[in-house]
Amino acid sequence: MGSRFEEHVVPSGDENLQTVRWVHSGKTCRGLIVQFHGNAANLTAHAPAVSWLAGEGYDVVAFDYRGYGLSSGTPTREGLVQDGAAVLKYFVDHIPECPRHIVIGQSLGGAVSGPSIVHSGVTVDALVLDSTFPSYRRIARQKLGSLWPTWLFQWPLSFLVSDSEALEDYFDRLTMPVVVLAGDRDKVVPKTWSEEIFEKLPAGRKQLWVQTGIGHTQSLTVPSVRKRLLRFLDGDKFSKQGRIEKEPFLTAARPAGLRPPQSPSSTGLQARLRGLLCASSPAGLSLVDNWLFLDASLFRLAFR
């Protein structure tokens, strides 16, 4: 049986955040999973990466930051962190029956998730960082250096980018089990950033999974990665530290037991968001591939 879902509006300061919760399909909740999505589009584009977990007994929450999708407000770096903390606290308080709390942060969402966890005060039992980066300033410098018009000025221009609320400033407080995901063909956030994050996280319960043949935030589309993630969330790897592990990109059919959740389209949420899907980042349609982090959306956040 597919899982049901609910729409919620979560207050965050003066703003209201559009949020969707997929309710676990089993008799009991195995855990609460909150997704922090990436920069482009809105939750309808990113939620499929995690919504399948509702069919495995988890409550799954996806939300739009302020200024994204149907959420109110204008994005700022600190505002996104506040939004993530507000969503975590809201659902932990409202779903006490879920025994564990898990965060999955993808791309920009990974950078936002660490500070949000710390500011929320919520106990998070596991963290998944997918295709993310530790420093806004340093990834801006890398992107400036990848374009010939800005190559010469990559260092001075990068110092115009604030590094406030950078993920790397919170490494020492992220002591829960962590899985770091990366694709070896990621041209948006190269896997070297994930390898750095893995090395700098506190020693202990951490894993780095590098997938071969895939690009940006594609790891959770790989059936074998989904199976491994379920084993990790079940706890059999919470106490182990892992070396880099590589798996091929598989295009096999959905593994048995991965039941697709009910689609939001039946409630009209997707219809209301359809016109915003490609233009819901703060400054409109994002650029793609290498240039994603040079678009107006990121710099709007970076300079605040």
Provide, for the chain, the percentages of residues in helix, strand and coil under a 3-state DSSP scheme, each rounded to the nearest 5. 40, 20, 40
Q: Of the candidates 108, 70, 69, 65, which has an alpha carbon nearest to the alpha carbon of residue 85?
A: 65
Q: Which amino acid is at 53?
A: L
Along the 304 residues of the chain, how does pLDDT read in single tens digits? Answer: 456 889 999 999 999 999 999 998 778 999 999 999 999 889 999 999 999 999 999 999 999 999 999 999 999 999 999 999 999 999 999 999 999 999 999 999 999 999 999 999 999 999 999 999 999 999 999 988 988 888 888 888 888 888 999 999 999 999 999 999 999 999 999 999 999 999 999 988 899 999 999 999 999 999 999 999 999 998 754 444 443 343 333 222 333 333 333 333 334 444 444 333 333 444 332 333 333 444 434 444 544 4
**Assign residue 280 a region: left if phi > 0, alpha if psi is -120 to 50, beta otherwise?**
alpha
Helices in the chain by DSSP H: which ranges? 43-46, 48-51, 77-94, 108-120, 136-145, 154-158, 191-200, 223-233, 269-273, 296-302
End-to-end CA separation in angstroms for the chain: 45
The residue range of the domain holding 37 is: 5-302
User: Given the structure tokens 């374009």, which residue do they identify?
Assistant: 147
Instruction: Specify the 3-state DSSP secondary structure of 175.
Output: coil
Number of Cβ within 10 Å of residue 172's Cβ equals 10
Tell me how far apart the alpha carbons of residues 246 and 54 are, in angstroms, rounded to a whole number: 26
Say which DSSP state 14 is in: T
Q: What is the CATH number of the domain that holds 207?
A: 3.40.50.1820
pTM for the complete prediction? 0.81
What are the angstrom distances between the C-alpha of 204 and each of 176, 197, 228, 240?
A: 9, 14, 19, 7
What is the domain count for the chain? 1
According to the model, what pLDDT value does residue 61 have?
Answer: 97
Model pLDDT, residue 300: 47
Say what the pLDDT of residue 90 is: 97
Residue 237 to residue 104: CA distance in whole angstroms: 17
* 182 C-beta neighbours (distance < 10 Å), count: 29
CA nearest neighbour of 77 among 167, 198, 209: 167
- The 8-class DSSP code of residue 52 comes to G
To 5 degrees, how large is the angle CA 282–CA 288–CA 294?
60
Closest C-alpha among 239, 129, 214 to residue 180: 129
How would you class 253 by CB atoms within 10 Å of its CB: exposed for 0-12, middle for 13-18, buried for 19 or more? exposed
CA distance 191 to 181: 9
Phi then psi for residue 101, to 5 deg, are -120, 125
- Secondary structure element (H or E) that encloses residue 63, with its range: strand 58-63
